[in-house]
């Protein structure tokens, strides 16, 4: 990772803009207002900032950052690209304080930058997991303290709940849920898993009824010390939880419920792109930053 940090687009804002243009506009500038491709002209001269274009169709001005998480930011674009690279390259995540120290921006700016980048990582899911008879592992984990637990109470109801689905040799999807019940688990499965899939879970009773709707439902009984039964196991999704927990505990320490979905989406993004290089992972994210703008008025 160290060698990448000296790349020209991390050192100069104009080179960062050119780098982003090459990634987002491989076939020429695209107007974010009307979608017109190529039929534009550059606005030059002292009255215009570098990288400004005007669409010949809708007659509106635009740059490569319009409509992206970088829009209207006064932070130099090369620092934004550096932050994207650091977040994509850090296996157990990187804190806003560390971004603040490394990039020389205020902590408030670093916090907002990291949340904007997480918003870009939180992509819309397309298609169903397990289509064509794939195997999908499902499990839930718990984090923090969502409300004070009454004295002497047991269980996880006071904690925040995350349900994750992993298709073996495929994609991982995680979502924060209000409760881990048969209804919420069935809703998650119906939305994300194809009925032809082979489902793998632990013995949580919430999966019992829903599991009957799929091609098969393999169960491992953790309470009896059973974690693998032939091909039946949920070890893949559980191993992904270990990275999530190490990041939450060791890097972030405290995450509020209103932001937790973005944090789990960040870990999902790195998990789903774990087999490529750090640069390929960050470049892939830069290609999907459009339409993900996040403002202070929309903290959730």
* pLDDT, mean of residues 115-143: 93
Identify whether the C-beta of residue 105 lies closer than 8 Å to the C-beta of residue 78: no
Least confident piece of the model among 7-11, 156-160, 240-244: 156-160
Backbone angles phi, psi at 160, to 5 degrees: -80, 145
Between 3 and 140, where is the model more confident? Answer: 140
The token pair at 57 is: 């169709």
Q: Would you give the distance in Å from CA 297 to the centre of its chain? A: 21
- Structural domains in the chain, CATH included, are 3-124+276-286 (no CATH), 135-255 (3.30.420)
Q: What are phi and psi of 216, to 5 degrees?
A: -160, 160
Residue 110 has pLDDT above 70, yes or no: yes
Supply the pLDDT for residue 165.
97
In tens, the pLDDT along 34-44 reads: 988 877 899 98
Give whole-number Cα distances, 272 to 92, 174, 240, in Å: 14, 11, 10
Q: Which residues pair with 217 in a beta bridge?
A: 199
Q: Are 269 and 287 in contact (CB under 8 A)?
A: no
Task: Check pLDDT > 60 for residue 299.
Answer: no
Per-residue pLDDT band for 291 (boundaries 50, 70, 90) equals confident
Q: What is the pLDDT of residue 295?
A: 64
């Amino acid at each position: 990772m160290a060698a990448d940090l000296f790349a020209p687009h991390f050192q100069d804002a104009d080179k960062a803009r050119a780098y982003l243009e090459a990634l987002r506009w491989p076939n020429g500038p695209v107007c974010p207002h009307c979608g017109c491709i190529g039929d534009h002209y550059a606005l030059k001269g002292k009255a215009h900032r570098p990288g400004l274009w005007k669409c010949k169709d809708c007659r509106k001005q635009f740059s490569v950052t319009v409509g992206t998480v970088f829009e209207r930011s006064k932070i130099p674009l090369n620092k934004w690209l550096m932050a994207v690279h650091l977040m994509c390259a850090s296996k157990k995540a990187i804190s806003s304080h560390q971004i603040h120290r490394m990039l020389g921006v205020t902590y408030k700016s670093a916090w907002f930058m990291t949340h904007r980048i997480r918003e870009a990582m939180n992509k819309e899911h397309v298609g169903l997991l397990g289509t064509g008879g794939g195997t999908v592992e499902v499990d839930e984990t718990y984090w923090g303290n969502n409300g004070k637990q009454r004295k002497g109470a047991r269980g996880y109801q006071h904690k925040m709940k995350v349900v994750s689905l992993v298709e073996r040799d495929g994609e991982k999807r995680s979502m924060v849920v209000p409760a881990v019940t048969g209804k919420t688990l069935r809703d998650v499965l119906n939305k994300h898993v194809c009925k032809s899939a082979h489902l793998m879970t632990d013995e949580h009773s919430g999966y019992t009824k829903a599991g009957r709707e799929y091609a098969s439902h393999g169960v491992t009984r953790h309470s009896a010390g059973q974690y693998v039964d032939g091909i039946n196991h949920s070890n893949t999704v559980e191993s992904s939880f270990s990275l999530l927990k190490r990041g939450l505990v060791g890097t972030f320490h405290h995450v509020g419920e209103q932001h937790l979905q973005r944090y789990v989406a960040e870990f999902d993004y790195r998990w789903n792109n774990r087999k490529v290089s750090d640069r390929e992972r960050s470049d892939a994210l830069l290609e999907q930053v459009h339409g993900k703008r996040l403002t202070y008025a929309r903290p959730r």
